[in-house]
């Protein structure tokens, strides 16, 4: 599986962005796809994940209520809708796929290249 993330950019605080992650190759129904981010000088952080089959979702407390993960099964595409953005959301955002649900990045087998999100105050 290869992943291509897009949709990042510069936005003012309080604004919104929607990230996309197009997957080439077969995503098994049992797989989980997730979003992570990494800010300068910080470790990569789990944000959200979704089961490809049943759309069950999981969120980090830091983004719950502001970010929404979703997937389009027909388009083989993962999304992250980000609302009420804050300057501390500035980071490179990555999509990834895992065989089982996990919050640990080490469980994810394939990664997209990352897309930069910058939130100005």
Residue 106 · residue 50 · CB < 8 Å? no
Closest-CA residue to 105 (of 32, 41, 44):
44
Each residue of 43-89: pLDDT tens digit?
999 999 999 987 799 999 999 999 999 999 899 999 999 999 999 99
Asked if residue 27 has pLDDT above 90, the reply is no
Q: pLDDT digit string (tens) for 82-109?
A: 999 999 999 999 999 999 999 999 999 9
pLDDT score for 69:
97
User: Which residues, in sequence order, are CB contacts of 112 under 8 Å at separation 6+?
Assistant: 3, 4, 5, 21, 94, 95, 96
Q: Grade residue 22 by pLDDT with cuts at 50, 70 and 90.
A: very high
């Amino acid at each position: 599986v290869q992943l291509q993330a897009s949709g990042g950019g510069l936005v003012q605080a309080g604004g919104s962005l929607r990230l996309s992650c197009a997957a080439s190759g077969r995503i098994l129904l049992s797989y989980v796809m997730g979003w992570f981010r990494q800010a300068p000088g910080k470790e990569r952080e789990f944000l959200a994940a979704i089961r490809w089959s049943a759309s069950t979702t999981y969120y980090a407390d830091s983004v719950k209520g502001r970010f929404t993960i979703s997937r389009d099964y027909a388009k083989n595409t993962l999304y992250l809708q980000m609302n009420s953005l804050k300057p501390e959301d500035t980071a490179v955002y990555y999509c990834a796929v895992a065989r089982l649900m996990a919050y640990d990045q080490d469980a994810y087998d394939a990664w997209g290249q990352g897309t930069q999100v910058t939130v100005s105050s």
